[in-house]
């Protein structure tokens, strides 16, 4: 199904592009200015709710975070806030634990994003090969992504408890049981496991659409050249998949930078702060410690680091746009 859509998209977009520009040219020539003004008024009316929502729900909080982070106040707001410049930031950066939180967030993202995308890509390649009952296997991998994350987090918390089924399997296979969430050495890896079980099927769907959109002729040509599956993968699939890969990588990174539910539900940032990352930390600072100014500074730093990550990914994957995906 998705395949039919993908095949249709390019022509559709082309046709639309032509149609739109032609109609636009006609209109600017012929239309009286009164009609043009009416159209602009309609546009304003139609856009007003969306723009108001973006203003109130996106821009205002971003500005609020920036401004709040520059003030210092007492918990509970008993006294008026005083301007503190970059004081909150200085305090954060003088704090060893905060540096460790930043480091943990970065390491977490350096591991989980490539891992999830690599597995999702592997799955997408397998699931686009000629195999019986293909759509069933796709759905089975995708199902974890449909379970709201709080439900799957709790279920994995039970599955990974010291005397839980995962350890039962390990023991039955002759291995030793693992502490998972109860050990500072394994808690982060356990979070990665849970988040990946949830996320991989979701990203796989995007990559399957991307692979389906690659022209069949390229695979046939690779076959004529007697290229094996691995060469075909690196010389046809990967180069043709750059745009979907970039999209998935950026979207995954953005999602993982603000990952919150499994940490809040399962570890509370512990044990021994081993799963305290920036998003959870900002939440705890703001609501647990009632330090909203410091929390705002943490939100600003989180966003800046996240944007830096996304910018690097754009650089890495954008440098040459392969012909044919345009």
Partner 1 sequence: MSPRTRFGVGHRVGRTSWVATVSAVLLSLIFILPAFWMMINSLRPTVDIFESLWPLSPRVIVPTSLGLQNYFTLFSGSFGRAFLVSMAVCLVTVVIGLALSVAAAYALAVLRFPGRNAIFAAVVISFMVPFEAIAIPLSQLFNDWGLTNTFMGLVLPGVCNGLAIFNLRQHFLSVPTSYREAATVDGASELRVLWSVFVPVSGPAISNSALLIFLGQWSAYLWPLIAVSSPNLQVAPLALAKAFTEHSADYGATFAGAMALAIVPATLMLVLQRFFGRLAIGSGEK
311 binds partner 1 (CB under 8 A): no
Interacting positions 82-111 with partner 1 (CB under 8 A): none
User: Which one of 85-93, 101-109, 128-136, 179-187 is the stretch in contact with partner 1 (CB under 8 A)?
Assistant: 128-136
CB of 13 to partner 1, least distance (A): 8
Q: Which of 82, 107, 110, 158 binds partner 1 (CB under 8 A)?
A: 158
Interacting positions 200-259 with partner 1 (CB under 8 A): 200-201, 205-206, 208-210, 212-213, 216, 219-220, 223, 243-244, 247-248, 250, 254-255, 257-258
The alpha carbon of residue 79 and the mean position of all alpha carbons in its chain are separated, in whole angstroms, by 39
User: Which one of 84-92, 103-111, 261-269, 314-322 is the stretch in contact with partner 1 (CB under 8 A)?
Assistant: 261-269
Nearer Cβ to partner 1, position 85 or 165?
165
Interacting positions 15-44 with partner 1 (CB under 8 A): 15-16, 19-20, 23-24, 27-28, 36, 39-40, 42-44
Residue 82 host element (H or E): strand 82-83
284 binds partner 1 (CB under 8 A): no
Residue 181 host element (H or E): none
Residue by residue, DSSP assigns 195-218 as HHHHHHHHHHHHHHHHHHTS-HHH
Helices of type H across the chain: 2-30, 33-54, 60-68, 87-93, 96-127, 134-146, 149-159, 165-172, 187-212, 216-224, 229-232, 238-240, 242-257, 261-262, 278-283, 292-318
CA atoms within 13 A on the CB side of 230: 0
175 binds partner 1 (CB under 8 A): no
For residue 277, the SS3 value is coil
Q: Which of 29, 33, 34, 57 binds partner 1 (CB under 8 A)?
A: 57
308 binds partner 1 (CB under 8 A): no
Structure tokens at 323: 């012909």
Count of positions on this chain that bind partner 1 (CB under 8 A): 118
CB of 122 to partner 1, least distance (A): 8
Residues 15, 43, 63: CA angle, nearest 5 degrees: 110
Q: Which of 5, 90, 95, 185 binds partner 1 (CB under 8 A)?
A: 5
């Amino acid at each position: 199904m998705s395949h039919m859509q993908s095949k249709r998209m390019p022509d559709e977009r082309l046709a639309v592009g032509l149609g739109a520009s032609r109609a636009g040219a006609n209109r600017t020539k012929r239309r009286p200015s009164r009609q043009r003004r009416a159209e602009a008024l309609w546009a304003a009316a139609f856009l007003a709710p969306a723009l108001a929502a973006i203003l109130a729900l996106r821009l205002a909080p971003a500005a609020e975070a920036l401004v709040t982070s520059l003030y210092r106040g007492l918990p509970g707001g008993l006294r008026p806030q005083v301007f503190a410049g970059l004081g909150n930031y200085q305090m954060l950066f003088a704090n060893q634990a905060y540096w460790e939180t930043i480091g943990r967030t970065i390491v977490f993202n350096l591991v989980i994003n490539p891992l999830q995308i690599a597995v999702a890509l592997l799955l997408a390649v397998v699931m686009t090969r000629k195999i019986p009952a293909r759509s069933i296997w796709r759905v089975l991998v995708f199902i974890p992504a449909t379970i709201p994350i709080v439900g799957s987090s709790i279920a994995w918390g039970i599955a990974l408890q010291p005397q839980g089924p995962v350890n039962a399997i390990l023991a039955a296979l002759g291995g030793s049981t693992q502490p998972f969430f109860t050990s500072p050495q394994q808690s982060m890896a356990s979070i990665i496991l849970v988040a990946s079980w949830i996320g991989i099927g979701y990203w796989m769907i995007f990559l399957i659409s991307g692979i389906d959109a690659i022209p069949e002729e390229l695979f046939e040509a690779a076959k004529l050249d007697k290229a094996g599956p691995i060469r075909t993968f690196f010389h046809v699939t990967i180069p043709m998949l750059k745009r979907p890969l970039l999209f998935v990588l950026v979207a995954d990174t953005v999602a993982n930078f603000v990952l919150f539910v499994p940490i809040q539900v399962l570890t509370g940032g512990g044990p021994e702060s081993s799963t305290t990352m920036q998003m959870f930390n900002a939440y705890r600072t703001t609501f647990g410690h009632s330090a909203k100014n410091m929390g705002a500074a943490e939100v600003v730093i989180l966003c800046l680091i996240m944007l830096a990550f996304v910018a690097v990914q754009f650089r890495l994957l954008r440098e040459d746009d392969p012909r044919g995906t345009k």
